A and B are shown apart, each in its own frame.
Chain A
Amino acid sequence: MIRLPDRKGRFGIYGGKFAPETLMAPIEQLENAYFSIGRSRQFRKEFSYYLKQYVGRPTPLYFASNLSEIISCKVYLKREDLAFTGAHKINNTVGQVLLAKKMGKTRVIAETGAGQHGVATATAAALFKMKCEIYMGEVDMQRQALNVYRMKLLGAKVTCVKSGSRTLKDAINEAMRDWISSFKDTHYVIGTVVGFHPFPVMVRDFQSVIGKEAKKQILKAEGRLPDFLIACVGGGSNSMGLFFPFFRNKNVKFIGVEAAGKGIDTDFHAATLCRGTPGILHGNFSYVLQDKEGQIHPTHSVSAGLDYPGIGPEHSYYKDTGRAEYYAATDQQVLKAFHILSEAEGIIPALESSHALAYMIENKNRFKQDDIVIVCLSGRGDKDVNEVARIEGIPL
């Protein structure tokens, strides 16, 4: 069995290190630090301590009996919405900021779309006494105003990005530009499994706690492995975190659900794996939403966290090898799922996570009575309540 990624950071043909020369030294430094310190027993012990005592892990694997009745199979929800700060993002930021601290960095920067990764980075920065600056697109700042204020409360500086489409992709551009001049004292906390090697593998490893716990929990509850894992896919960190520990369990099917926005046949979606073609964006070779001239497409999704034209290279590898299947759910299907889970289980899901639920609801017939399905409930929906009310024309 070949270990992936290889030493060049490749997952099959995908991945790599397409970085400006100035960043090659800090990237090498990070690579060395991650593979020595980051994978040491001592580091993992400390990381586990914070995940348990600070983040509140393990998160429950909840048997959703009411939803199970609706779908007619056994549905378990991996409750990442119950992780501290309300989403899976904190797993990665605690890992990266702890590593940055050990590397002697004093400042961290990050991009954010929905604001969850920004909040999670600001939180970890406060915990480990680091200066923190978050880049956020102007459009996202408007639709996630509450999270902007949360980051400020946590002591972070929030910088508004007004270039390009003014969403997540442009926030990443701006954070990378910051890092090109600030790397001496600054670590760039990428929020998902994208970017130059070693970011995709490092973020995957930090998020793998989701799948490792789920595996133990389902074996305890059911005495066997699940038939399906379903998760939403933007950049792909919660899905990869759930999938990866099951990689060798070939009977466990992986389903990733992207944002179809107004429909994947329109110009308004963010379904990179369903509709993209291979290209180079943000430091790696992977599927990209682009035009025939190689310019990156603007994207659309009701959920800011999935509004991204790229995808982690490991997902591109999973797609091409058939290890995972990828579909897309429209904004409309997502809003329907958002309401169904809220009413059926008393759990308001994030719009991102609602994509995974939407796939299951729209494809009920695929699942048999005895099938065990684990859905990653990657985040809670409190942050989306205002936006959903606005879309549905309900004055608050």
Chain B
Amino acid sequence: MKISESFKNLKKQNKTGLIIYITAGCPDIAFTEEFAEKLQDVGVDMIELGVPFSDPIADGPVIQQASQKALENRTNLESILKLCQRLKQRMNIPYLLMSYYNPVYRYGLEKFAADCSVAGVAGLIVPDVPFEESQPLNDHLKKYDIDLILFISSTTSEKRRKKILKFGSGFIYYIAVHGVTGVRDTLPEYIYEDVSSLRRQSKIPIAVGFGISNQKQLYRLKGCADAVIIGSYVMKEIMSGNYAHLLETLNSFNEVLKSD
């Protein structure tokens, strides 16, 4: 499914989307495959599959550790794209890849875009490629109708926001905290107003991520953002083996976001 389609459905029902990040290959690829389906069953709207990288500068300890684990299992883009290929038949929600630029660059931009397309990947998130450096990658992805998700943070200047909103596709990834990924109890107060005003200017949806881990935050974000993204919290629970509890929690999170 296309990302835009998913958001169209959410908008029709006036609901806030839930996007879940998991590091592919942590603890192993078979788990990721099984868990992706379970996430779909819980009612998650989109899944982000993290490609592990040796030097994840935008990530906090949890995702660093998850990446390390995945690398130890020799998880790579090839095995992740094969996983996506297998998921293609069984998933009716969009799934995206999130990768630092070097593994993608090394794979070859054209081959990467073509293989993503075959594997049904709907979008790509690259935390170390800002708008200014995005063109070569975007040119290849566009050919295959794959969305390149751009970021905006509260520090992003007006001038850059305008450009990012103009060229962004799929959705805008709004970074909720000044910091790396990781679990936080609360989000800075100013972001709610910032997200609302951004949403008024934007023709594509705004998804808020970084630091989200509890219902309190979700109540605030419901209706304010088009979707929320949860990653570190999920990986923390996965690495401590609390799968059943995690799925229950995500179910309750989704209920919050989908409530009237």
Contact = CB atoms under 8 A, between A and B. Distances in A.
Contacts of B104: 294
A334 interface: no
Interface string A260-298: 000000000000000000011111000010101111100
Interface string B123-142: 00001111011000000000
Contacts of A184: 178
B107 A294 contact: yes
A20 B58 contact: yes
A370 to B, nearest CB: 46
Contacts of A296: 54-55, 102
Interface residues of A, number: 35
Given A18-B128, A21-B152, A22-B153, A290 B57 contact: no
A255 B81 CA distance: 43
Contacts of A295: 53-54, 71, 102-103
Contacts of A290: 102, 106
B107 A177 contact: no
Contacts of A17: 130, 132-133
B256 interface: no
Nearest to A283: B128
B130 A21 contact: yes
Nearest to A278: B105
A294 B103 contact: yes
A299 B33 CA distance: 34
B77 A24 contact: no
Interface in A167-225: 169-170, 173, 176-177, 180-181, 183-184
Given A18-B129, A164-B54, A180-B179, A294 B105 contact: yes
Given A294-B106, A296-B102, A18 B55 contact: no
Contacts of B100: 280
Contacts of B130: 17-21, 24
B153 A21 contact: yes
B57 A169 contact: no
11 contacts: A17-B133, A21-B150, A24-B130, A26-B155, A28-B157, A281-B102, A283-B128, A292-B106, A294-B103, A294-B104, A296-B55
Given A181-B178, A293-B76, A293-B106, 15 more contacts: A17-B132, A20-B128, A22-B153, A28-B157, A177-B59, A181-B177, A181-B179, A183-B178, A281-B55, A283-B128, A293-B78, A293-B107, A294-B77, A296-B54, A296-B55
